[in-house]
Amino acid sequence: MIGICLSCLSLICVSNIYLNLSWYLKFYNDKKKKKIMINVPNSISLLRLLLIPVFLWTAFNGQLVSSCLIIFIASFTDWLDGFAARRLNQFTRLGQLLDPISDRLYIIALIVVVFYLELANIYILLFIVFRELILSFLMLYLKIRGVTGLPVHYLGKMGAFCLLIGLPGLIFAEAFPDQVDIWFTIGWSFLIWGLFLYAFSGYKYFVHARLVLSKYV
């Protein structure tokens, strides 16, 4: 079971990175749309990505307080890169792609840690993995059919937001036993909402994909 989960997570990571990079390179090859790629917002987003292996290392070595600190820093940089892009007017296609990639990879990393620490039922984690796997295959199929991608649905963003609070909440409950009731309540409240929104947004993506593909028949 563990091997299957890890294989699915690896496949999700590879397919998402491949899809986003291929769309980015296609965009970048259009000389009229080239912009400076290395700027303040993109550097902040890259920093957030580099923190993922550090987060995993601290969690696997029992340094959960350090893991919680990294989660806090990552959450802050998630807000900071958007603020910097708006304030400095430095919007790029790369920046637009790094944000969802970072969110998805952090959710995957959190799933791995929550599963490793046995903080949630395996079936809940399998549901998230299954949803991501189905969407990854759907996006690959759309690319094969010549569709450049689906617009991000606000329900999907809300679901990811809830999961990025709920999953860390369970880790916080483990890291701070004296505050376990507070973090446990926060974690499960957001996790339940996140699962519901993730399921419904997955359905919306599937319906939208069918409508898009019907135009190619």
Q: Is the pLDDT of residue 188 over 90?
A: yes
Contacts of 6 (CB under 8 A, 6+ apart): 112
Least confident of 12-16, 66-70, 125-129: 12-16
Tell me whether residue 62 is in a domain.
Answer: yes
Tell me whether residue 13 is in a domain.
Answer: yes
Q: Is the pLDDT of residue 6 over 70?
A: no
> Which token pair is 49?
């990505």
**Angstrom distance (rounded) from CA 55 to CA 107:** 12
Give the CATH number, domain containing residue 174: 1.20.120
Residue 198 CA from chain centroid, whole number: 12
Q: What is the pLDDT of residues 57-76, one digit of tens each?
A: 999 998 988 998 998 888 88
Q: Is the pLDDT of residue 14 over 70?
A: no
Contacts of 138 (CB under 8 A, 6+ apart): 205, 206, 209
Tell me whether residue 101 is in a domain.
Answer: yes
146-166 mean pLDDT? 78
Tell me whether residue 69 is in a domain.
Answer: yes
Tell me whether residue 33 is in a domain.
Answer: no
Q: Is the pLDDT of residue 92 over 80?
A: no
**Domain range spanning residue 97?**
2-28+38-214
- How would residue 133 be classed by pLDDT, with cut points 50, 70 and 90? confident
Q: What is the pLDDT of residue 151?
A: 66
Q: What is the pLDDT of residue 16?
A: 52
> Which token pair is 194?
């996140």
Total domains in the fold of the chain: 1
12-21, 34-43, 81-90, 110-119: range with highest mean pLDDT? 110-119
Q: What is the pLDDT of residues 164-179, one digit of tens each?
A: 899 999 999 999 989 9
Q: Is the pLDDT of residue 113 over 80?
A: yes
> Which token pair is 113?
């840690």
Tell me whether residue 119 is in a domain.
Answer: yes
Average pLDDT over the chain, rounded to an integer: 77
Tell me whether residue 124 is in a domain.
Answer: yes
Q: What is the pLDDT of residue 118?
A: 87
140-163 mean pLDDT? 75
Q: What is the pLDDT of residue 182?
A: 92
Tell me whether residue 170 is in a domain.
Answer: yes
Among 18, 158, 201, 40, smallest CA distance to 97 is for: 18
